[in-house]
Amino acid sequence: MLLAESLAACGSAPVANDAQPSAPLTSPAGLDLAQVNIRSGGRTHVFTVEMARTAAQQEQGLMNRRELAPGAGMLFPFDPPRPASFWMRNTLIPLDMIFIRPDGSIARIAASTVPMSETPVAVTEPVTAVLELRGGRAAQLGLREGDRVSWND
């Protein structure tokens, strides 16, 4: 079962006031999961993403993955914000890379990046995060530079 299907199957139930908060959800790769919302054209698109927080997690990224569900992705947060450069070494599937400014607006969308390429995909302005989605999803949803991105963390 795909990760997104697993999460959708869980649903949410009311929690009693005295209940302890549940542990954060993690992906099969052991990464924390978070919800990302992209506001575009009057709609909000919701994704369940893996959080690549550490340098090692960010270096690994989505390498060697054979598929990525339409509602899934990976978020690479940066603190402090900085220019970012990515490549597709050992990445088997095309990805859309969405570079997010500190104010939450999209600075750049690198659409359907080439699998296995070592050509840098970058922005020179400081960004607070990069969101990777399945290649073609940004165009499919009509996402554009300037759209707003937020996530729970």
- CATH classification for the domain delimited by 30-151, as one of 3.40.50.12780, 2.60.120.1140, 2.30.30.90, 1.10.760.10: 2.60.120.1140
pLDDT for the residue numbered 18: 42
**How far is Cα 146 from Cα 153, in angstroms, rounded to an integer?**
22
- What ranges do the domains of the chain cover? 30-151
The pTM of this model reads 0.84
Q: Which long-range contacts (CB under 8 A, 24 or more apart) does 16-22 make?
A: none
Supply the DSSP symbol for 63. Answer: T
Assess whether pLDDT exceeds 60 at residue 148.
yes
pLDDT digit string (tens) for 82-140? Answer: 999 999 999 999 999 999 999 999 999 999 999 999 999 999 999 999 999 999 999 99
Contact predicate 87/70, CB 8 Å: no
Assess whether pLDDT exceeds 70 at residue 1.
no
Structural tokens at position 46: 């919701």
pLDDT digit string (tens) for 24-66? Answer: 699 999 999 999 999 999 999 999 999 999 999 999 999 999 9
